[in-house]
Structure 1
Amino acid sequence: MRPGPCHVLRGDVRDTVEDVTESAVLSTFEEHRPTLFGIAYRMLSSVADAEDIVQDAWLKWSAVDVAQITQPRAYLARTVTNLSLNRLRSASAQRESYVGPWLPEPLVTAPDASGPVEQAETVSLAMLVVLETLSPLERAVFLLKEAFGFSYAEIGGMLDRSESAVRQVGSRARSHVQARRPRYDAPAEMRRAVTEEFLAACLGGDLNRMMELLAPDVTVWSDGGGKIRAALRPLHGAGKVARWTLGVLGRYLPKDLGLHPVDVNGRFGFLITTDGVPDDVFTMELDENGRITEVRLVRNPDKLRHVNTPWPQSPTGG
């Protein structure tokens, strides 16, 4: 009788083989971790939830016989997508009772330091807000196809639906997004220059210059989540936005104000700290004339818990 593998390997050799296998399992997972986080974050608009989903995916991955899996990326993407869909359904119910405007939890990195996943257009705060208007299934199909390049056949396998069915869902989602996405994607240099100029005008109390930089139909969303002072409704119009902004800064200026240029979901923005603690993260959208059309201000402290402040304070800070 031919001995089995456990009989022919000494204990120390078996341990070595097992260590090599575990290392390969971990290495494969780590190779795809950025994609997995990218899917989960785009699905849930939450850094904390995305990290939880990736951890759950690792537990599932480490428990299967990976030698039998011929396409690890697709297998892991399916796992993360379905975990995210389950989490998204409960999150949607919670958002119905959210206090004030809801904004995604921002990804904040040092300027020009974000990776390719974070820099993609589908991860901007403006796009994540648009994705919130899709159904969970539409969101999954759109992201897997448009952001991560999976075919409709692959997506159908992930979601246990036919290729023709997910193709229809994808077409519907793409049309919906195209109708609602920002009209203009400003170059990075323009975005930075206008943001810095607007902030300088605000700190200098230059209302006239602020009005020149704001589009007449500008809108501001301020997300405090009912946990910190913020506007409970979106603000519309250059005059109202300028006066409100000056009022907000007037409240900050007596404090230890820190202004940190950062990338917010791959777009230039600022992190504001008071007494060294993250207080606000904001980013703007511009029109083709360089005027500010949208401002998104995240103040909810629960959404800033993961934000670090390793960058020097801007010279314009207090």
Structure 2
Amino acid sequence: MIHLKKGFRAEENLRDYFNRAGYFVVRGVPFKYANFDITDIDLWLYGRASSVSREITIVDIKNKKTPQAIERIFWIKGLQAAVGADQAIVATTEGRKEVKDFGKKLDVLVLDRNFISRLNKNSEENLTRYSDEEFFEEISNYTYSKLNGDWKGRINRAKSLLTTGLTFDNANKWLSDSQFFAEQGLVTHMHSEIALRSFYLMLSYFALSVDYLLRDILFLEPEERRKAIVEGFQYGSSGKEGIENKISMSLSLVERFYEGGASISKQIKHKVDHEFESLEANLLGDYFSKSEVFRTLFYVAKELEEMSMSREFVHFSNSSVGVKSLIGCLFDYWGMSRNSLVQRSFDV
């Protein structure tokens, strides 16, 4: 068990607090703009208030003698706007009433010294789950994790997508990351446990994004809902019409500026159409349009995240029906054997 520094321990304590309050919590989310690394969001929270209401909150934590709380309120308010969060929270060891008043004026919740003191006093070392530091140490124990797909970098990039929106484009990226780690869990025999933990984590982000996306189409007729899901996975956030417009524009340039452009354009169009048709998004549409599936996705996401960080590795076979059915559906989608994952889960 790693002994965490004071600031990191405060982040873990608050993570546990919000986790118990029912949120899906991600710690240390990188925020990038263009090619610039701007900052890390200490905690990113996702709450499911009702079947149609979702709430994203970002938390800035300063557990220092001179926390500069007023400046942090300014900072997080700008960060909230940049990442499109619904709410912002500053947790600080500052105790002045004026700080809470200023936060209220800017619609930023301030968790002050009294709250932090009570939280730290009542919190104990979490003996049931890894900290982020311990999770990444497990990855570092796999010597070839950097060469074999940059596992740490891939996970941090997956985290950073949370700041750009829970879109179909990002859902497809988390789906791809999930497949990568599922495959790694089957081939890296000495380190299959951390590969499967990473698989659970990526899958939790994917499930969360689908939960968010489905909130807007819950009340469509079943076939309309299924069609919207299929098109989202097949064509991304732009939708079928948007993608077709982009393709048409590109092909028109080929026809204008290349010799034999019409013939080349026709060949490209045929190949592109074939690629889209080969995506088995119908399977995903059938699965996620089921009411019993979309009602439980948030809780499936939370369970997967907990599985990824549990100190005692959780076998896939011991997960809930919801988690098992999601993994089974995706293994069918990827053309992978369900039995291979079950066997690997027992081997680690």
Task: Report the TM-score range of the alignment, normalised by the length of the smaller protein.
Answer: under 0.3
TM-score, length basis structure 2: 0.25
TM-score, length basis structure 1: 0.27
**Structure with the bigger percentage of helix:** 2
